Structure 1
Amino acid sequence: MGLSLYLFHLLYLQTTGTALWCYEGQFSCEETCRDPSRWAGEFPSCGGLRQSPINIVTSKAHVNSALPPFTFLGHNEPINITVDNSGHSAQFSLPQSVRLSGGALPGHYRAANFHFHWGHEGSPGSEHTLNGERLAMEMHIVHIKEPYGSLAEAEHDMAGIALLAFLFEESADDHPHLNTVIEALGRVQGNGSSAEVVNFRLSDIVPSATELHSYYRYVGSMTTPGCEQAVAWTVFQKSLPISSRQLSAIVSKCRFWTGQPMIDNFRPTQPLDGRVVYKSNLGNLLLCFPPVCYVLLLAILCAFNLLLES
């Protein structure tokens, strides 16, 4: 972005009362944008008690036998999608044919978009951390609860938005299908640019539902302003591979609205503030908490006794 265009953009946003927000790495003495530590000053929900992302301490996650597998619809179908550089991230729009159910979610959800969070050259950039460790990259698939027509409508429901989070771990080999995403990012380098990706399959990037039976669940928020606290988060335990070559290619493609390289586009982890993180248990009763197992066993014994008395 040229200096004159940037100054015009800055003046326009200031005169219209729209706040400029940015990530931690963008902020400097010369910038006037609000970094994550100051988001709440302009967007009050960002200072709420159900904020995301969080650090997941795996040993403290509560095993929950009521968290079943998911059902994905449209993941295997070839679709044409659009990728847009919003100035804060590169967002891939998804058609309504991509849907989600199961996973103990309170209803059916349709997909809206997916996007990624990354670090910089040689540095990890996932938003969620596991036991204090930040992974290489994180992918979010955003879903809206039916029958809401938009994210704005869904934000008034505590579980109006279902976000699936996939963590990428650096590996020696390439992710076999991630180059499609890398090529698309190369075509939307500047703020406001867009491009089309044809014959794309979500199943090329993320595993099938049958491979994603182990996951963490908690209630939280969007990770960008206004940080709406209306999200049922699912963070899958299975990590996806990404090579150092692919990661370097991704972090070098796009630029923020300021013209700076789009790197470190992740929000720092937020306090848990008394929330409970649950973990699915693969449907194995041996992994239940003892009280749950006792209740199930008692129910079976009662049913058996009723049969004997009849």
Structure 2
Amino acid sequence: MTSILSLSSVLLALKLCSGEWCYEGQLSCESECTGPSEWKKSFLQCGGQNQSPINIITRKVKHDPELTSFIFDGHEDIFNMSVENHGQSAHFTLPESVRLRGGGLSATYKAVQFHLHWGKDDGQGSEHSVDGERYPMEVSSEQNKNLDKIIEALGKVKHEGNSSEIEDFRLADIIPQANTLSYYRYSGSLTTPGCDQSVVWTVFQQTLPISKTQLTSMYKQVLFATEKPMTGIFRPVQDLNGRVVYTSVKSHCLCVLPNLIALFLCLFCVFGQQRCFH
């Protein structure tokens, strides 16, 4: 059996609120942090009408002919990439050369960093879901060797504040070619406090495979700031509240494989004049 890793790369360097909020997997009788269901009490936007992630219902999505293919710049480049444990997740910093354009967006976006979302064992791990399917696994017998460098790097950043570097990394080894990617598009928010709602989400329909052994290696190597194993690092799905989800694929071509149970995610966001790639 092979898991599907939900990869979420953020285009904005975010400062996470320390010690005040946490994921459901961090809650315990001893914890004093605020779980996802209570975020809105401390961070008002987390209770807004345009929150993310969401469950995408494929029979209700609308085709938008303006959602053209993406063009990735710098994804074939070989570079050194740093990784740091931020206490709630591990962030991978990308070089200035990595850009993205097309995809119905009006500008070129710079990729700043990406981070990963996972569950535990056979439990759910992706943030978004498609037709209610939200699990970390699909039927396969092969490991994703291209993720070995990332898994090895996570083993070097076990504790909050730890950092390391991956040498000779190429983003194209883990991200499919731009012109092969079909996707959904909707307006939403960041999935961590303060849940800013100035986000344009692109959810790719293709999956990123990872074996169960590889997934287990990830979450057993990395710890939360509380020193608990870093598992269940995802926000539950939020109400759509009348928002429309669009797709780059014409309706007669749109299909979702029955074993599609997690997503490779890409978030694009704009804050004022600052353009960012997630």
TM-score, normalised to structure 2's length?
Answer: 0.82
Deviation at 1:232, TM superposition (A): 1.0
Change (3 A) 1:257 1:170: farther
Q: Alpha-carbon deviation of 1:19?
A: 5.4
Runs (5+) with no aligned partner, structure 2: 1-16, 255-278
Q: Does 1:222 align with 2:190?
A: yes
Aligned residues: 238
1:245 matched to 2:213: yes
Match 2:199 to one of 231, 234, 255? 231
The structure with higher relative contact order (CA 8 Å, sep 6+) is 2
Question: Equivalent residue for 1:206?
Answer: 175
Counterpart AA for 2:214? Q
Q: Which residue of 1 aligns with 2:235?
A: 267
2:31 matches 1:31:
yes
Which one has a larger percent helix, Structure 1 or Structure 2?
Answer: 1
Partner of 2:84: 84
Contact 1:119 1:266 in 2 (8 A): yes
> Could you tell me how far 1:186 is from its partner in structure 2?
0.4
Counterpart residue identity of residue 55, structure 2? N
1:93, distance to aligned residue in structure 2 (A): 0.6
Which digits, 9 at most, give the CA deviation of each residue in 1:14-37, with x for residues without a partner?
xxx965110012112221100001
Aligned to 2:131: 131
The separation in 2 between residues aligned to 1:241 and 1:120, in whole angstroms, is: 15
- Please tell me the root mean square deviation across aligned C-alpha atoms, in Å: 1.9
1:231-262 per-residue CA deviation (whole Å, 9 max, x = no partner) reads: 11111111121111111111211000111100
Q: Decide which structure has the larger Cα Rg and report it.
A: 1
1:44-98 deviation digits (Å, cap 9, x = unpaired)? 1111111110011111111111110001001000011110000000000111210
- Partner of 1:188 in structure 2? 157
* Secondary structure of 2:63's aligned partner: strand
Structure 1 equivalent of residue 106 of structure 2: 106
Question: Which of structure 1's runs of 4+ aligned residues deviate more than 3 A?
Answer: none
Deviations 1:251-276, CA, capped at 9 Å, x for gaps? 21100011110000000000001110
Say which of 177, 188, 207 aligns to 2:146. Answer: 177
Quote the sequence identity (%): 50
State the alpha-carbon separation in 1 of the partners of residues 201 and 41 from structure 2.
Answer: 25
